[in-house]
Chain A
Amino acid sequence: QLQLQESGPGLVKPSETLSLTCTVSGGSISSSSYHWGWIRQPPGKGLEWIGSIYYSGSTYYNPSLKSRVTISVDTSKNKFSLKLSSVTAADTAVYYCARQVSGLHTFDPWGQGTLVTVSS
């Protein structure tokens, strides 16, 4: 079945850029039925959608994060990536990647998540 796995540094310094990759296995990222999304969850708090990408490279972002976010896709490697610039302690969170059903805009399944801590 489809699986997603996040990877990247667990510690990022303030003002630097957070970079994560999501590797998709058991299915093609180039499917026309899906987008691919990033969602985060600060420790002990709720979920916040960051942005989503289609295999063509078309993106849309959370307006509150748009100025700092870039999501890209590499169809040859079945991966998509997140970059979040100028991070602060408020960006400390578990970052999840997930498949997004294009017609319904639901997220299913999700990766296991990776904790990124912003600290000097």
Chain B
Amino acid sequence: EIVLTQSPGTLSLSPGERATLSCRASQSVSSSYLAWYQQKPGQAPRLLIYGASSRATGIPDRFSGSGSGTDFTLTISRLEPEDFAVYYCQQYGSSHTFGQGTKLEIK
């Protein structure tokens, strides 16, 4: 099973700042099968990025994804108040696994 490790566990930033979230895989992941989700309290996760770098429908362009192999990054270029949430990466190999999440909190 491929294990995804996200860092940092918690990221404290202010609105307007840039956020960089990391997702590292225990073995190589196909970029086609790496996704990012956002989850706000009491809500279901929402797909942000698929195929490592493609934005899902309706996702603002301040969200971008990059990476390949075992290292992937989600970048939020300029934080809006509604961006403070928990973010998960997810991969598909022969099975689906999620990272443990990064909590993005207001500083």
Contact = CB atoms under 8 A, between A and B. Distances in A.
Contacts of A105: 33, 35, 92, 96
A47 interface: yes
A112 B44 contact: yes
A47 B1 CA distance: 15
A46 B50 contact: no
B15 interface: no
A46 B35 contact: no
B72 interface: no
B33 A49 contact: no
Interface of A is mostly: strand
B27 to A, nearest CB: 16
Interface stretch (B18-26, B62-70, B76-84, B97-105): B97-105
A104 B51 contact: yes
Contacts of A110: 44-46
Contact of A113 (B44, B50, B101): B44
A47 B95 contact: no
B25 to A, nearest CB: 14
Given A104-B33, A104-B35, A106-B90, A49 B98 contact: yes
Contacts of B43: 112
Contacts of A36: none
Interface in B36-80: 37, 43-47, 50-51, 56
Interface string A75-119: 000000000000000000000101001001111111111000000
A62 B90 CA distance: 14
Output the residue of A107, A109, A110 with the most chain B CB within 10 A.
A107
Contacts of A47: 37, 45, 88, 90, 98, 101
16 contacts: A46-B100, A47-B90, A49-B98, A62-B96, A96-B44, A98-B44, A101-B50, A104-B35, A104-B51, A105-B33, A105-B92, A106-B50, A107-B35, A109-B44, A111-B44, A113-B44
